[in-house]
Amino acid sequence: MSQYSKNYKWLLDKFGPVMEKHQDLGKALREAGPIDEKTSQLIQLGAAAASRAEGSVHSHVKRALTAGATQDEIYHTIILLTSTIGFPAVAAALSWARDIIRD
């Protein structure tokens, strides 16, 4: 699997300088406090699931795995949202996570 989705690759190609600044902002935000990379990615995964952003769920699952998160930690991060965002949204996010994990 490629590192980037087709759409994200297109964004990089079409709006390279903007995307570079966007990536720089994300890095600066993660480095601004004491939260470690794995936890940061799990938090962002939860936000992506809550906003029903399939591409962001894919991205943050990949990033969380790279940062040392386990499959169970990823699934737990998403299932914790059930009482907040509802089961249908959680079920969708879990399916998007499984797109990447493929257990």
pLDDT tens, position by position, 34-85: 999 999 999 999 999 999 999 999 999 999 999 999 999 999 999 999 999 9
Is residue 1's pLDDT more than 60?
Answer: no
Q: At 95, list the tokens.
A: 């399916």
What is the pLDDT at residue 38? 97
Q: What is the CA radius of gyration of the chain?
A: 14
Is residue 86's pLDDT more than 80?
Answer: yes
Q: Write down the pTM of the prediction.
A: 0.86
Q: Nearest Cα to 11, choosing from 50, 51, 56?
A: 56
How far apart (Å, rounded) are the C-alpha atoms in residues 96 and 81? Answer: 15
Q: At 22, list the tokens.
A: 């966007």
pLDDT confidence band for 3 (50 / 70 / 90): low
